[in-house]
Structure 1
Amino acid sequence: MAYEIVSYVTTIVAWAGVDQRKVASVYIASDSRISWGSHQWNQGRKTFAATGTPHIFGYWGDVLFPSIALPTVLDELEAGVIRPRGSAFGEIGSSIRRLWNDYPKQEQRDLGIIMATRRRDAMMSVFELAVMTYEAKTDTWHIDDVEMPDRSSRLHIAGTGAYEVRNAENLWQESSHKRTSRAVYSAFAEALAQGKDRNSGGGPQLVGLRRIGPGIRFGIFHQGQRYIAGARIPQASARSAEVEWFNELFERVDGANGRLLTNAQRHAPR
């Protein structure tokens, strides 16, 4: 028996980190569960980071098209086929729609893509984020720019687990951690660990942009397990992985043992 990949599964959240001067970072976090009817797989990739350009992406809703299309967009960015001019996301959106043009009609389902980029570097940097959605009922695409905040806060949340993340975030924002990146990520990790949304699960996956450099793929230490791009990583592999690791409290840790790094800032639980 064949199963459709269920639409609007996942939990995805994007936020901006703001220091004393202005936006210093943007992140996208997602769960890793993909569902086919009653069948589930907890190592599905839902976030992407360009290795040569300052771009990151994440998706929710239908899995098949964005999981195939976004790696192609990354290749086009790396090769210089896409050179954003004017609107930061116009050329990226055009590339996604070109790939969609001959996508089988019977496979077209609702989906959403979060995309973020950075113009210029260091203290001249300007971060931008947009949400691109497709509605199957009306066969229409939309791209909406999201305004950057003046303090660390969530920029967008979507998926079946959004309600649970909002509930957890309300508690974190009432604590001493309010208006911080760690409040948003910790709320996301907490909601995922509680498992109240049956369509969200697996390990967290996280990508980000900082003031300098291309997109970043982070390693995650979550409930004693190690994950990169949603895939479970053995302890031995984590020792040699050239990635920065975070735990549930958004602390920088050693990926092999989960211990706080010597020069890392400790974050108290709420």
Structure 2
Amino acid sequence: MTLLLSWVGRDSRKISSFYIASDSRISWDKNTKYDYGQKVFAFSNSPDILGYCGDVMYPIMTINQILDMEKNSILFPPNTNANDRSNLIYKELQSKFKEYPSSVMNSTLEIIHVSRDNEEDFICNIFKWSRLNGWSKTSKDIPSVSDKVIVLGSGKNEFFDRYLEYLKGNSGKTSRALFQGLCHTLLDIKDLQCGGAPQLVGLFNKFNGKDFGVVHKQKRYLLGRELNNSEIINNIDWRNELFERCDGSSTKILNGAQRQPNELSP
């Protein structure tokens, strides 16, 4: 399965950021796994981000096709708003599913979609398929403070156990606590269906969806894929396991970047 979570960051006036993060493991049984599977996605030409958990093959194929359609400007008509884009993505997922052999799927599939109108009007919808009930679309309430929006997947109970430790401390409901909670959970998670490096996408008040590089165990990962030293990384924003802004080349915190408390200490 997966550990998939979404959260919102707020400043004193408005939502300033919206994130989706996950692990990178695809598993078939307790002995068969692949730790480099992409599970979160950012649209390049629109303010939209996605993440999935549950079944793997259908969302990997279909979401990448949807992103290619968006990149080539054939998915969204001009001037579509956030709700229109959400409905079009949901319709595309349902349409492609009509010809898909659902008998080969896991029992469920859940997809988080976050979108934005203007600079402040964010929405979050959950697209769900189950063998019992078919497809459904649900709107999620957005917290009035920085906090999680939804946590999904087989690893969510272990995540909540860890996150409760942060809620007892000073960091509480912050972006750093949620991301650190994910990273810390993955370091010693007992659910063998979850693992690999954290991966992260985000949406801000301006611009379109954004991919982040993540420094994990002193190695560099982008959307689950480990990068080597020869690959171009200068145009990527990086976060370490503490959610600090860092340099992709050296993996060290950037000069002038705000340091975060080390919540990963046992």
TM-score, normalising length from structure 2? 0.92
Report the number of matched residues.
Answer: 257
Distance 2:68 2:122 in 1: 21
* AA matched with 1:142: S
Structure 1: 5+ residue stretches without partners: 1-8
Return 225-234 or 71-80, whichever deviates more: 71-80
* AA matched with 1:128: I
Structure 2: 5+ residue stretches without partners: none
Does the alignment pair 1:87 with 2:83?
Answer: yes
* AA matched with 2:127: M
SS in 2 for 1:97: helix
SS in 1 for 2:92: helix
Q: What does residue 251 of structure 2 align with?
A: 258
Structure 1 residue 159, shift from structure 2 partner: 0.8
Q: What does residue 57 of structure 2 align with?
A: 64
Instruction: Indicate conservation of the 8 Å contact 2:162/2:185, yes or no.
Output: yes
C-alpha distance after superposition, 1:21-61 (max 9, x if no partner): 11111100010001122310100111111111111100000
Q: What does residue 6 of structure 1 align with?
A: none
1:142-153 aligned within 5 A: 142-153=136-147
Q: What does residue 187 of structure 1 align with?
A: 181
Structure 1 residue 193, shift from structure 2 partner: 1.1
Instruction: Indicate conservation of the 8 Å contact 1:57/1:116, yes or no.
Output: yes
Structure 1 residue 237, shift from structure 2 partner: 2.5
* AA matched with 2:83: S
Return 57-66 or 82-91, whichever deviates more: 82-91
Distance 2:258 2:82 in 1: 39
Instruction: Indicate conservation of the 8 Å contact 1:226/1:235, yes or no.
Output: no
Distance 2:220 2:258 in 1: 20
* AA matched with 1:47: V
Return 76-85 or 151-160, whichever deviates more: 76-85
Question: For 1:76, which of 69, 77, 87 is the aligned residue?
Answer: 69
Q: What does residue 28 of structure 2 align with?
A: 36
Q: What does residue 104 of structure 2 align with?
A: 107
Identity of aligned residues (%): 31
* AA matched with 2:114: A
Structure 1 residue 257, shift from structure 2 partner: 2.2
Q: What does residue 12 of structure 2 align with?
A: 20
Structure 1 residue 253, shift from structure 2 partner: 0.6
Question: For 2:241, which of 225, 248, 252 is the aligned residue?
Answer: 248
Does the alignment pair 1:159 with 2:156?
Answer: no
